[in-house]
A and B are shown apart, each in its own frame.
Chain A
Amino acid sequence: MKRKSENILMRTVIALMLSVMLFSQSPLRADSRFAAPHLGLPVGSMDARSRGMGGVGTALGGESFSFTNPARTINFWRSGFSGGMSQDYTTMEDGAGSYDTRSSNFLGLRGIFPSYYGFVLGFGLRQWRDMNYEYTDTVDVDFLENPVARHMESEGSLYLGRLSVARNLGDHLALGLGIDWMFGEAERTRTMQFFPSGDFVNSRDAFNDKYSFVRPTLGLFSTFGRTNFGFSWSASVDGDQERELIYRENNQYSGILVEQAKKLEFPTNWRLGVSHRIGSSLVVASDLEFEGWGDSDLQLENPVIAGDQWTWCLGAELLPRRGEGTPWYRAFPVRAGYSRTTYGYEIGGDRVGEQVFSLGVGSYFGRNNGLLNVALEYIDREVDNPAYPKEDVIRVMVSLSLFEKWTRIPRRSRRGD
């Protein structure tokens, strides 16, 4: 009876969150203007458990579908799929006013399969960088009777696909190897609209960039007592950037394409994490991530200069209680976390970044064959300079995981487990 009421409660929470996500009246628009000066904004883990804990995941035990460390999949004793999405409600303030926007993101999809001889295979696809932004203003031009409306928008994301394998190397150490294939594009359009509209041909210049690379990722996961350590490292690679110019659309130049290709260095990334279980009901974890954009040859525009991207996260998970007499609110894991990221660029010497406060809950369902995690984040993005915009974001994240009941159980030996 109690279990039934818990399920009803969880379903009610899900229904409410989906209702808020789907039926919000805010316009579905840009993600962040902070994506404009650089190669978009970094997107953290797709897994709502990890996000509820501030983004930690490199050394987290249990069933977490986070991409942060390919060796960490060794924790899976059964096969599972997981997918995540999020909804952002952004309030942006610049000198001209305040704007409310809403945007949806597909964060990722992942499958993990324990297989023969202690190997754990994994594949997945996740959003790596978010390239969406939008900007509109009106400017007065002295020889025109009406102001000109300028609009700049970028649509697209970079995605990271990963094939990985992990195996225990002993009682305390697991090794994971991953091949990452990054791909994605940003379709950017600058328009200038003149008024009255019938008297002018508007300017519409489009320039699209496609990005791709393939690189290896190495991961280590180690357990000593109640403490886990994790480390992952992704190599720096020369990727491809293909530019497609469709300039002067909507007039006699429509359809003219100019295609250019060049190499772009994507920097190394490493991530270090630790987690520790305190008693029977609390897990604390922390991650530190580095991405060396300061050495990249990504072209930035004055006054923006390259900088290294740093993220540190701190999170805790209050594990659920079992047994008779447990109040309903203790039947679920409850999570909280904080993270701070400095983006891979500075503006006029001022660092740009975000800090995230997060809360999360989760629950198994369907005889423990399904897992639902929900996270709520408050994100604050700003520059150390009042001349630039400030963004506050409320992000709702949901990830749904389905385990072996719905997947084919591999014939495997449990030798060495």
Chain B
Amino acid sequence: MIPGGSLGALPQQVTFSQPVEALSVSSEAVSRGKQERVYIGNRDKFHMRGMVSFLINSLPSDATVVSATLRLFVVSYENFSAGVPLDVGVYKLDKDFVEEEVSWERASAGDQWLTPGGDYSSADLLGSFEFDEEDFGSGTVDTIVVLLDTLTINQLIRSGEENFPLLLVPGDQDAWFSMVARELSPEAAVASLLDLTYKVVGSTTNAALERRTKGDATVTEFDGSLDPTMLTVGDTPASQTFLKYDLSQLPRDATINRALLNVSVFDAAYVDTFHVVVFTSGSGEYVDYESAAVSVSQGVGLDSDSLALDITIGLQRALALDSTGTSYYVGLGSNTAVNVGGYVQFYPPDWSEASRRPVLNLIYSDAPENAKP
């Protein structure tokens, strides 16, 4: 009784064994200043340092700091060298960094570090601590308290410096921990804190100043190598993969209900988690994920040699921009909002073994005739 033109046809399935085009492009290291955690430590070939910066310009120029305490709020950790604590040194950075632009290679856009990983002098060691997971309860936020040398701070105050940038450098142990970044809860005082107690000449009263970090970031180094013949989606090293499919065989008004890109994994590694986002691009050039992502990120595991990546929304977007789908790439990139270091490499479409090539499995349903222009 319901007209077929209103009810429409049933879903259909189509498989694409070959894309029109597939390529991977790399980029310089991305900044993680906007992430909600700061990572410090090592995971295999990934090395992470933390940077935090505080404002000290509200102290009187004749103030003398009598104590400085750094408080870090730890939320997660991993130790692959069981029983061996992670050594962490706190150094003064030679120059401040721009939170949204800082990376292993640069302090800000156009301002490279002289030494990748942040410029500091070993003489500027302000404090140190050992991170031992036994000191921390599971699933809770615990605090690391580090007493800092006040001499350097007083020198900075005397010289009129406004910023107090610090670098947290881990030892060589295969362990890491993450702490709360100020982006996690912008209004709450659970990001890194600097407590200063100082006195002013002629005054007998000590005053306290508590400063929430004005900027914090992770910088990550990868000292391994990748196979350039594979398609790569990575964060560190930064790489994105673009695929283009001829979707002209789909009805013009069809909805793509599910598009799974089945890939065979060649190699994968990451620090904590690795999330992939899907986007659409007309150029096939490396894109900023925040402006291009069209789907929620998908977590990728290390325990499988194959992955089914959901690229439904990316293909829908490509079809919305061009009804044949051939003008736009579906891109796969790292979710740089959460990934601190990692990559996935998978076999390309021209790989000799057909069973390892990417296969796109697509389910669509055409619009009812009455809903077509």
Contact = CB atoms under 8 A, between A and B. Distances in A.
Contacts of A194: 11, 257-258
A33 B256 contact: no
B83 interface: no
Contacts of A256: 320
B321 to A, nearest CB: 9
Interface residues of B, number: 32
Nearest to B257: A200
B202 interface: no
A96 interface: no
A368 interface: no
Interface in A240-264: 245, 247-248, 251-253, 256, 258, 260
A251 B363 contact: no
A204 B257 CA distance: 10
A140 to B, nearest CB: 9
B229 interface: no
Given A192-B365, A206-B371, 7 more contacts: A36-B6, A141-B11, A188-B370, A190-B8, A205-B368, A248-B316, A388-B1
A301 B1 CA distance: 10
A148 B255 contact: no
Contact of B1 (A34, A188, A190): A34
B4 interface: yes
Nearest to A208: B371
B294 interface: yes
A203 interface: yes
Contacts of A253: 255, 316, 320
B13 A190 contact: no
Contacts of B371: 190, 205-207, 245, 247
Interface of A: 33-34, 36-37, 133, 135, 139, 141, 143-144, 148, 150, 152, 188, 190, 192, 194, 199-207, 245, 247-248, 251-253, 256, 258, 260, 300-301, 304, 347, 388-389
Contacts of A207: 368, 370-371
A206 B5 CA distance: 12
A200 B367 contact: no
A207 B368 CA distance: 9
B11 A260 contact: no
Q: Please give me the 8 A-B residue pairs with the lowest Cβ-Cβ distance, nearest first.
A: A252-B316, A205-B371, A207-B371, A301-B3, A203-B255, A258-B373, A203-B365, A205-B367
B368 A251 contact: no
Interface of B: 1-8, 10-11, 13, 253, 255-258, 294, 310, 312-313, 316-317, 319-320, 363, 365, 367-368, 370-373
8 contacts: A37-B3, A135-B7, A190-B371, A206-B371, A207-B370, A247-B367, A251-B313, A251-B316
A248 B254 CA distance: 8
The majority secondary structure among interface residues of chain B is mixed
Contacts of B367: 203, 205, 247-248
A200 B373 CA distance: 25
Q: Which of A33, A152, A190 has the most CB of B within 10 A?
A: A190
B368 A148 contact: no
Nearest to B361: A143
B313 A252 contact: yes
A139 B10 CA distance: 8
Contacts of B317: 252
Contacts of A199: 258, 310
A207 B13 CA distance: 25
A190 B8 CA distance: 8
Contacts of A139: 10
B1 A389 contact: yes
A141 B10 contact: yes
Contacts of B4: 301
Given A200-B363, A245-B371, A260-B373, A205 B7 contact: no
Contacts of B365: 192, 203
